[in-house]
Amino acid sequence: MFIEPHIAGVKRGWIEVICGSMFSGKTEELIRRLRRARIANQQVEIFKPAIDTRYREKEIVSHDENIIVSTPVENAEAILQLCGGADVIGIDEAQFFDREIVSVCNKLALQGMRVIVAGLDMDYTGKSFGLMPELLSVAEYITKLHAICVKCGNIANYSYRKTTADKQIVLGEKNIYEPRCRYCFQLKD
């Protein structure tokens, strides 16, 4: 694909990734950035994976109950079809999207859009989650957020699963997960 060199006045896009453990404020930060874009009279479109039905079907909801309307989509390619003439694209729970999410984010940025993506960087086992490592590698801006460990009060960057379920994707919140620091994550209690 040929990309024209920088031309004065031409809108250039980029990718921002917000990552961290559960309860670190990723969705809250995504909502904050999207609201600021709206205050600046920018056209904003927001998407989430249809699989994420924890709170509300057509809204992104942070754990502290901040809410913003979104469009649930079955796959990443659908975002390209639905983004219209947006200036800013918000994508929540990126770790749940299919392999095309990186390509879609790159295409949107090349079309001059600001793409803000939020997601878990690690799963409940402490391993990379979904395509998040690839999104992090192509992003111009990365924000890593931390929660507070429920066991010792230190900075937490792991999502500890309190159940014995062994599937990678198990939707839940405080009833199933808790934030833990590196040391307390290793304690299997």
140 is annotated as an active-site residue: no
| Domain membership flag for residue 69 | yes
Distance from the Cα of residue 31 to its chain's centroid: 11
User: What Å distances lie between residue 76 and 24, 35, 130, CA to CA?
Assistant: 24, 23, 13
Q: Determine the Cα–Cα distance for residues 34 and 36; give it in Å rounded to an integer.
A: 5
User: Environment class of residue 47 by beta-carbon count within 10 Å: exposed (0-12), middle (13-18) or buried (19+)?
Assistant: buried
| Domain membership flag for residue 91 | yes
User: Environment class of residue 92 by beta-carbon count within 10 Å: exposed (0-12), middle (13-18) or buried (19+)?
Assistant: buried
In this prediction, residue 2 carries a pLDDT of 47
- Residue 84's pLDDT band, with cuts at 50, 70 and 90, is confident
Tens of pLDDT, residue by residue over 12-36, are 899 999 999 999 999 999 999 999 9
SS3 154: coil
Q: Determine the Cα–Cα distance for residues 77 and 104; give it in Å rounded to an integer.
A: 7
H-only helix segments in the chain: 26-39, 77-82, 101-110, 132-138, 182-186
| Domain membership flag for residue 124 | yes
Domain, as residue range, for 128? 14-146
Task: Say yes or no to pLDDT of 151 above 90.
Answer: yes
In this prediction, residue 5 carries a pLDDT of 53
| Domain membership flag for residue 122 | yes
Catalytic residue among 29, 93, 100, 173: 93
Q: Determine the Cα–Cα distance for residues 61 and 7; give it in Å rounded to an integer.
A: 39
The torsion of the CA quartet 155, 157, 163, 165, rounded to 10 degrees, works out to -170
Tens of pLDDT, residue by residue over 121-136, are 999 999 999 999 999 9
CATH of residue 105? 3.40.50.300
Residues 6+ apart with CB under 8 A from 5: none
| Domain membership flag for residue 30 | yes
| Domain membership flag for residue 33 | yes
Domain count, the chain: 1
In this prediction, residue 85 carries a pLDDT of 86
| Domain membership flag for residue 35 | yes
Task: Say yes or no to pLDDT of 165 above 50.
Answer: yes
| Domain membership flag for residue 82 | yes
The label of the residue with tokens 């918000």 reads 90
